[in-house]
A = this chain, B = another copy of it.
Amino acid sequence: MPRRELGLGLIGLGTIAGGVAKVIQERGQTLAEQAGIMPVLRKVKVLPADLERPQARALGRSLLTTEDDEFWATPEIDVVVELIGGEHPALEYQEQALRAGKHVVTANKEVIAKHGVALLKMAGERGVHLRYEAAVGGGIPLIAPFRRDLVVNHVNGIYAIINGTTNYILSRMAQEKAGFAEVLAEAQRLGYAEANPHYDVEGIDAAYKLAILATLAFRSEVRPDQIFCEGISSLTARDFQNARELGYAIKLLAIAKQSGAGIEARVHPAFVASDSFLAQVNGVFNAVLVDGDLTGQVTFSGKGAGALPTSSAVVADILTIGHDIAAGAPPPAFFESLTHNVTPMADVVTRYYLRLNGADQPGVLAQIARTLGDHNISIASAIQKQTDIRAQIAEIVIVTHPAREQEMQHALGELRGLVGVREVGNIVRIED
A residues adjacent to B (C-beta < 8 A): 19, 23, 27, 31, 33-34, 36, 133, 138-141, 144-145, 148-153, 277, 280, 292-303, 306, 308-309, 311-313, 315-316, 319-320, 323-324, 327-330, 332-333, 335-336
Q: Is the CB of A316 within 8 A of B280?
A: no
Chain B hits for A329, CB < 8 A: 324, 327-330
Q: Report the Cα distance A148→B294, complex, angstroms.
A: 23
Q: Is the CB of B303 within 8 A of A152?
A: no
CB-defined A-B contacts under 8 Å, sample of 28: A31-B152, A34-B151, A34-B335, A133-B149, A139-B292, A139-B298, A141-B149, A145-B145, A145-B149, A149-B313, A149-B316, A152-B311, A293-B308, A294-B308, A294-B311, A295-B302, A295-B308, A295-B309, A296-B303, A296-B308, A297-B302, A297-B303, A299-B299, A299-B300, A299-B301, A323-B332, A324-B329, A328-B330
Number of copies of this chain that the complex holds: 2
Contacting residue for A319 out of B151, B277, B309, CB 8 A: B151
Q: Is the CB of B141 within 8 A of A145?
A: yes
Chain B hits for A19, CB < 8 A: 294
Known contacts A152-B316, A313-B149; A298 and B292 CB within 8 A of each other: no
Question: A284: shortest Cβ distance to chain B, in Å?
Answer: 10
Q: Report the Cα distance A293→B148, complex, angstroms.
A: 25
Q: Is the CB of B327 within 8 A of A309?
A: no
Chain B hits for A324, CB < 8 A: 329
Q: Is the CB of B141 within 8 A of A312?
A: no
Q: Report the Cα distance A249→B80, complex, angstroms.
A: 48
Question: A242: shortest Cβ distance to chain B, in Å?
Answer: 23
Q: Is the CB of A300 within 8 A of B303?
A: no
Those 10 A-B pairs whose CB atoms lie nearest each other, nearest first: A329-B329, A139-B295, A141-B149, A298-B302, A294-B312, A294-B308, A152-B315, A141-B145, A296-B303, A299-B301
Q: Report the Cα distance A139→B296, complex, angstroms.
A: 8
